[in-house]
Amino acid sequence: MKSIEAKVVVLGSQAVGKTSVVIRYVGGMFSKAVSPTIGASFFTYKLTLNNYRMKLQVWDTAGQERFRSMAPMYYRKANAAMLVYDITSEDSFYDIKDWVSELKKNVDTPIVMCLVGNKNDLEESREVNVKDAQEYADSIGALFHETSALKNVGVEEAFLQVAQQLVKLYESSPNSGLYSIDLDQSSSSQNPDSSGGSFQLPPDKSSTANAAGSKCAC
């Protein structure tokens, strides 16, 4: 069984629910009291997919304007980008265009993009319709999902599809910048940062959430 390590960056305007989406996926929960992210938070998620063991390094970035200039630090060398907007805010959808052009300009390795319309439980105040978003996603070659971190709709699917695309990317172009880890010799891992034994799979092979970073429900 082969193993892949991929860097996933979560981008989008403030208060669209980036952290909520990530915590829903990684921690399997939703908290009403999520406070604005400062800088960026780091989560890891491990799953098994089509004979690959995958470790996703998820960077959940801050949406506030003052952190905008620090984004390159987080999306540099990313293998996938989740572009999150709020379906009840047209502005947040337009902001995605800036992110896409910035990514295209600054990331030279192939990157899997996924457009995520969050808060789709708020149908009554919808400002961005599904058709427009799907069209836009197609035009930039991105995946598209509408999600609700609150109701747990579509989050798992979005990340799973991103993972599948990452596997495809890995198979088609070995130079895509994706780390592959040889688990049998984890002590001589190719990843310079993980010295012996720091990378461990959950004992069962199902894709259980093993959130190294998520410690607290608050």
Partner 1 sequence: MAENREAEHVSTSESEQSDFIEPEIRRKDTEEPFINVDYEALEEYDSQPSGVIHELVRQCSHDDGKNLSSNDEISGGEEARSESEQASSDMEKVSLKPQELPEEELDETQTAEWRERKKHIFILSESGKPVYSRYGNEDKLVTIMGLLQALVSFVHDSNKDNIRCIVAGDHKFVFLVRDHLLLVGVCCSQDSPHQILHQLSYLYNQILSVLTHTTLNKIFKQRRNYDLRRLLSGAEKFLDNLLHMIDTDASFLLGAVRCLPLDSQIRDQIAQSVGQQAKVKDLVFALILANNQLVTLVRMKKYFLHPMDLHLIINLVNSSESFKAAESWIPICLPKFDSSGYLQAHISYLDEGCQTCLLLLSVDRESFFTLSECKNKILERLNKYNGLRAISDSIANSSYGIRQCGISDLRHFLYKSRSTAQFTSPEIEAPYLKPEEQERLFGLYLYLHHRIHMTDRPLKILYHVGQHETLLGWLTQGFELYAVFGPLVTKPVAIAAINKLLRWIKKEEEHLFILSSVTF
Stretch that binds partner 1, among 63-71, 125-133, 143-151, 154-162 (CB under 8 A): 63-71
Among 173, 190, 198, 200, binds partner 1 (CB under 8 A): 198
Residue 101, interface with partner 1 (CB under 8 A)? no
Stretch that binds partner 1, among 111-119, 133-141, 153-161, 208-216 (CB under 8 A): 208-216
Q: Which residues are CB-neighbours of 167 under 8 A, at least 6 positions away?
A: 4, 49, 50, 52, 54
Q: Which residues are CB-neighbours of 207 under 8 A, at least 6 positions away?
A: 46, 47, 48, 49
CB nearer partner 1, residue 96 or residue 143: 96
Stretch that binds partner 1, among 132-140, 156-164, 170-178, 206-214 (CB under 8 A): 206-214
CB atoms within 10 A of CB 160: 15
Instruction: State CA 154 to chain mean position distance.
Output: 13
Among 17, 53, 60, 143, binds partner 1 (CB under 8 A): 60
8 Å CB contact between 84 and 12 = yes
Nearest-10 crossing angle of helices 18-27, 155-172? 80
Of 210, 167, 201, 169, the residue nearest 183 (C-alpha): 201
Residue 189, interface with partner 1 (CB under 8 A)? no
Phi and psi angles of residue 28, each rounded to the nearest 5 degrees, phi first: 70, 30
User: For partner 1, how many residues bind (rule: CB under 8 A)?
Assistant: 36
Relative to beta strand 40-49, strand 52-61 is antiparallel
Taking residues 26 to 55 in sequence order and writing x for each that binds partner 1 by CB under 8 A, - otherwise, the string is: -x-----xxxxxxxxxxx------------
In whole angstroms, what is the distance from residue 153 CA to residue 116 CA?
Answer: 12
CB nearer partner 1, residue 44 or residue 152: 44
Residue whose entry in the numeric block shows the structure tokens 């998520």 = 214
CB nearer partner 1, residue 51 or residue 69: 69
Least Å distance, CB 79 to partner 1, is 15
Residue 184, interface with partner 1 (CB under 8 A)? no
CB nearer partner 1, residue 52 or residue 199: 199
Structure tokens at 186: 């984890």
Least Å distance, CB 37 to partner 1, is 5
Contact footprint for partner 1 (CB under 8 A): 14, 19, 23, 27, 33-43, 60, 62, 64-70, 72-73, 193-195, 198, 211, 213-216, 218
